[in-house]
């Protein structure tokens, strides 16, 4: 009897060890999620594939980049709440404690009161974003016309690939060719708007890591703009902290300032946009979002500390901009998507049944551009959704339905 128990225990132990070995082997063979997503062009199909691999990535060495990438891909298909949720899982909110403790001595100024002065009194303005939240991309669109009227002619964006050497001649933004983050519809529309307005798009991304990358990015801005047009006025759009230009911060903005002697106006548009949906940010929300909500017209505010340094925690920039807290229309459309005269266009279940799949992703391409360009809007819908809305300009569109295996097409006119 004891021998039998001993055999059973040994068998169980062997099975457990075998299972552990299989799991360890599976984790060792697990690809970086970015490599997996690249196979399908970081598209809806990439997102669908990664969601099905959740149990493999959670707890693995790739857990953080997995959630980071999911946040980006969810934002591309119009699931902004899910994007924020994934970003929180990816631990991209590490500054929230310091943010919550440092707001008390900050003064706030409505952006419209100082925007003209900022544009007129500077020749280079640097703005930034959190890559998983397109809110600041929509915000930057509002700067383009006023800056252009004041002589700004170049728009440099960190996402742009130098290999797309024809983007300015072509005047369109290609999926997977013009840039990485620009495959998201609002970013694509930011670049489309700049091109239509007459801006020259300028890539400045650089090889290398850490300080080398920051220094090389500054060199690229100088080479690609100032060496050709020494008096140029331009906008720079970067990610997170790269635009910091204060002494002691070894970032692109600081290297640019040191090498050129030009002091750009640097404004953080990312710190506030990453926190707007979370209860853990209550003190920050009370301090800034509620100030905006109390305004007669909800407008962005610029935050300064009492000595005109950056708020918060001395992040190395001249100012921080807090955008109005997102309000959702029909659940899936954030209010900041209705810029430049866009309107809401309803896709109902009857239309889906006739033209598409019971669930999947719908992409709305300008008919004049075609499906090789970034869609104006895109949404991943479920089989239980009776209808949803897209934010579109008036005009002719090619709609593409994707169920992850095949495509179906339809055309619409938005009046």
**Both structure tokens of 338:** 């209705």
For 75, the domain range is 24-89
Asked whether residue 83 falls in the same domain as residue 110, the answer is no
- Residues of the chain with pLDDT > 90, as a percent, come to 66
Asked whether residue 79 falls in the same domain as residue 157, the answer is no
Asked whether residue 348 falls in the same domain as residue 238, the answer is no
Residue 352 falls within a domain, yes or no? yes
Residue 371 falls within a domain, yes or no? yes
pLDDT digits (tens, 9 = 90+) for 301-333: 887 665 445 444 456 788 888 888 888 988 789
**Domain containing residue 351: CATH number:** 2.60.40
Q: What is the pLDDT of residue 276?
A: 55
Q: What is the rounded average pLDDT for all residues in the chain?
A: 86
Q: What is the pLDDT of residue 399?
A: 98
What number is the average pLDDT over the span 92-100? 48
The band of 138, judged by pLDDT with boundaries at 50, 70 and 90, is: very high
- Tell which residue, 370, 359, 368, 365, has the closest CA to residue 405: 359
Neighbours of 375 (CB within 10 A): 27
Asked whether residue 61 falls in the same domain as residue 105, the answer is no
Residue 9 falls within a domain, yes or no? no
Q: What is the pLDDT of residue 289?
A: 75
Q: What is the pLDDT of residue 27?
A: 52
Asked whether residue 181 falls in the same domain as residue 228, the answer is yes
What number is the average pLDDT over the span 325-349? 92
Residue 243 falls within a domain, yes or no? yes
- Tell which residue, 185, 196, 197, has the closest CA to residue 374: 185
Residue 8 falls within a domain, yes or no? no
Contacts of 320 (CB under 8 A, 6+ apart): 267, 268, 271, 272, 302, 303, 310, 311, 312
Residue 2 falls within a domain, yes or no? no
The band of 88, judged by pLDDT with boundaries at 50, 70 and 90, is: confident
| Beta strands across the sheet bearing 301-304 | 107-110, 301-304, 319-322, 265-268, 124-129, 234-239, 154-157, 200-203
Asked whether residue 85 falls in the same domain as residue 156, the answer is no
pLDDT digits (tens, 9 = 90+) for 256-271: 999 999 999 999 888 7
- In the chain, the number of structural domains is 3
pLDDT digits (tens, 9 = 90+) for 109-131: 899 999 999 999 999 999 999 88
The band of 207, judged by pLDDT with boundaries at 50, 70 and 90, is: confident
Residue 321 DSSP symbol: E
Asked whether residue 219 falls in the same domain as residue 254, the answer is yes
State the pTM of this model: 0.88
User: 39, 60, 89 — which closes off a domain?
Assistant: 89
Asked whether residue 237 falls in the same domain as residue 125, the answer is yes
Asked whether residue 78 falls in the same domain as residue 108, the answer is no
What number is the average pLDDT over the span 170-195? 97
What number is the average pLDDT over the span 86-99? 61
Q: What is the pLDDT of residue 274?
A: 55
User: 89, 115, 141 — which closes off a domain?
Assistant: 89
Give dist(CA 201, CA 209) in Å, integer: 24
Q: What is the pLDDT of residue 23?
A: 45
**Domain containing residue 247: CATH number:** 3.40.50
Asked whether residue 58 falls in the same domain as residue 196, the answer is no
Residue 164 falls within a domain, yes or no? yes
Q: How far are the Cα atoms of 88, 221, 226, 250 from residue 256, in angstroms, in the given order? A: 32, 8, 11, 10
Q: What is the CA radius of gyration of the chain?
A: 24
Asked whether residue 132 falls in the same domain as residue 32, the answer is no
| Predicted confidence (pLDDT) at residue 282 exceeds the cutoff of 50 | no
Neighbours of 237 (CB within 10 A): 27
Asked whether residue 153 falls in the same domain as residue 247, the answer is yes
| Predicted confidence (pLDDT) at residue 37 exceeds the cutoff of 80 | yes
The answer to whether 412 and 345 are in contact (CB under 8 A) is yes
Higher pLDDT among residues 354 and 132, named by residue = 354
């Amino acid at each position: 009897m004891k021998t039998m128990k001993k055999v059973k225990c040994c068998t169980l132990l062997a099975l457990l060890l075998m299972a552990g070995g299989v799991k360890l082997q599976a984790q060792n063979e697990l690809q970086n999620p970015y490599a997996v997503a690249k196979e399908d062009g970081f598209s809806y199909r990439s997102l669908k594939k990664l969601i099905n691999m959740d149990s493999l990535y959670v707890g693995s060495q790739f857990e953080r980049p997995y959630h980071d990438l999911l946040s980006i891909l969810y934002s591309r298909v119009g699931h902004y709440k899910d994007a924020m949720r994934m970003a929180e899982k990816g631990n991209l909110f590490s500054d929230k404690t310091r943010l919550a403790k440092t707001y008390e001595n900050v003064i706030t100024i409505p952006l419209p009161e100082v925007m003209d002065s900022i544009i007129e009194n500077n020749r280079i303005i640097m703005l930034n974003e959190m890559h998983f939240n397109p809110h600041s991309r929509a915000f930057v669109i509002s700067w383009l016309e006023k800056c252009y009227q004041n002589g700004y002619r170049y728009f440099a964006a960190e996402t742009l690939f130098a290999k797309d050497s024809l983007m300015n001649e072509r005047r369109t933004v290609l999926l997977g060719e013009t840039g990485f983050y620009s495959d998201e519809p609002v970013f694509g529309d930011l670049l489309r708007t700049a091109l239509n307005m007459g801006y020259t798009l300028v890539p400045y991304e650089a090889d290398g890591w850490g300080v080398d990358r920051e220094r090389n990015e500054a060199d690229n801005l100088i080479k690609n703009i100032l060496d050709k047009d020494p008096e140029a006025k331009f906008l720079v759009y970067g990610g997170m902290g790269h635009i910091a230009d204060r002494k002691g911060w070894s970032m692109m903005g600081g290297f640019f300032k040191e090498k050129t002697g030009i002091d750009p106006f640097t404004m953080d548009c990312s710190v506030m946009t990453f926190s707007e949906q979370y209860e853990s940010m209550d003190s920050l929300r009370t301090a800034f979002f509620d100030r905006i909500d109390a305004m007669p017209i909800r407008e962005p505010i610029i935050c300064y500390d009492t000595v005109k340094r950056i708020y918060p925690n001395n992040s190395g920039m001249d100012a921080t901009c807090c955008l109005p807290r997102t309000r959702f229309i029909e659940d899936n459309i954030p209010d900041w998507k209705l810029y430049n005269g866009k309107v809401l266009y309803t896709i109902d279940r009857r239309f889906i049944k006739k033209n598409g799949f019971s669930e999947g992703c719908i992409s709305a391409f300008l008919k004049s551009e075609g499906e090789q360009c970034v869609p104006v809007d895109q949404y991943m819908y479920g089989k239980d959704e009776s209808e949803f809305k897209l934010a579109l300009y008036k005009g002719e569109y090619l709609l593409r339905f994707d169920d992850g295996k095949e495509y179906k097409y339809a055309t619409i006119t938005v009046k």
